[in-house]
Amino acid sequence: MDINVPQQLVNALWLGGLYSLFALGYALIFSVLGLLNLSHSAVFACGAFVGLYTACGDEVFTTTCTELDRPIWIVIPAAMIGAGIVSVAVDRVAFWPLRKRNAPRMNQLISSIGAAALLVNLLQIQFGAAQQRFPFGSIPNDPVSGLPVVITPIQITALVIALGLMFALRILVKRTRLGREMRTVAFNERVASLLGVNVDRTYMTAFFIAGALAGAAGMMYGLAFNSMTPFMGESVSLKGLTVIVLGGLGSIEGAVIGGFLIAAIEVFSVALGRSDIRDAFVFLLLFVILVVRPRGLLGQGVEDRA
């Protein structure tokens, strides 16, 4: 049984890019809010559908979209901004009221699950449950020629955008005023406000950025796999959680490394002929990491997150 190693590497690499991109938003919110925002996967789906609506207009409500009304380089930012706004709305509706009352973290977690269900249902009412896709040829789909492996422009684009956004986020958190601000709020809201930080605004900014990252991931998914439903976030949701637990909660680099690692394990467990126990490999690794290194690969403990 021979394995097409170069092709499987390509498969792993770009899938890893997608996982990482999705997990980044999780990681960012965890680092600022100190909690898992389980509505992230719903925001991800919202991003894809905002993109679809931007691309096709009202057509999407009735039939399959067959033609792009707007160019793809407008559609992607629109999806990011749309998902960012949805994400901020989630913060205001699902988290802010609880935060004001100092509600326990668990309540906020539950509230985020509620927000996810609500968003998915709204999407379903608006767009229906059937699969949707971007019009054929939205983005060149023929493999790049002259290579020994099959890699399509969308895969390259997704990987480049994913890596670019990860890099940008890292710079933002580690090197900018906004990054310091977010890390300070993450550490202690009270101290942050005594330094002049408008904490609510910091939350909104963080949620916007996380939402925009989810939106970008949703667009990439939509374009690459050509299958979007309001429930598209469900399968990624658990992957994303695994990625950040593996990488270290709230660690940007951890989210990236975790994403690529999980993609590689998935792809190579399949490549080695065990697609039937692929998920078992992933969760076995997760289990081992949690036992050996409970903070995850790059986690530095709660005091030090972000």
Q: Residue 28: which of 230, 20, 261, 155 has the closest Cα?
A: 20
Half-sphere exposure of 100 (CA within 13 A, CB side): 7
Site for other proteins contains 59 (CB under 8 A): no
For 201, the token pair is 């605004």
Site for other proteins contains 96 (CB under 8 A): no
Give first-to-last CA distance, the chain, whole Å. Answer: 44
Element at 209 (helix H, strand E): helix 199-225
Angle between helices 199-225 and 232-247 (to 10 degrees): 120
Nearer to other proteins, 71 or 304 (CB): 304
Site for other proteins contains 4 (CB under 8 A): yes
Element at 37 (helix H, strand E): none
One residue of 57, 70, 92, 131 binding other proteins per CB under 8 A: 131
Helix (H, G, I), strand (E, B) or coil at 1: coil
Residue type for position 283: F
Helix (H, G, I), strand (E, B) or coil at 254: helix
Site for other proteins contains 58 (CB under 8 A): no
Q: Looking at 37-45, 73-81, 222-230, 288-296, which segment touches other proteins (CB under 8 A)?
A: 222-230
Q: Looking at 33-41, 44-52, 219-227, 253-261, which segment touches other proteins (CB under 8 A)?
A: 219-227
Site for other proteins contains 145 (CB under 8 A): no
The DSSP output letter for 92 is I
Q: Looking at 67-75, 101-109, 281-289, 298-306, which segment touches other proteins (CB under 8 A)?
A: 298-306
One residue of 73, 146, 276, 292 binding other proteins per CB under 8 A: 276
Map tokens 């009735």 to a residue: 62
Q: Residue 257: which of 27, 6, 43, 7 has the closest Cα?
A: 27
CB of 2 to other proteins, least distance (A): 7
Helix (H, G, I), strand (E, B) or coil at 298: coil
CB of 49 to other proteins, least distance (A): 15
Nearer to other proteins, 247 or 305 (CB): 305
Contact set with other proteins (CB under 8 A): 1-4, 7-8, 11-12, 15, 62-64, 121, 124, 128-133, 136, 141, 143, 150, 152, 177, 180-181, 183-184, 186-188, 190-191, 193-199, 221, 225-227, 229, 231-232, 234-235, 266-268, 270-271, 273, 275-276, 278-279, 303-306
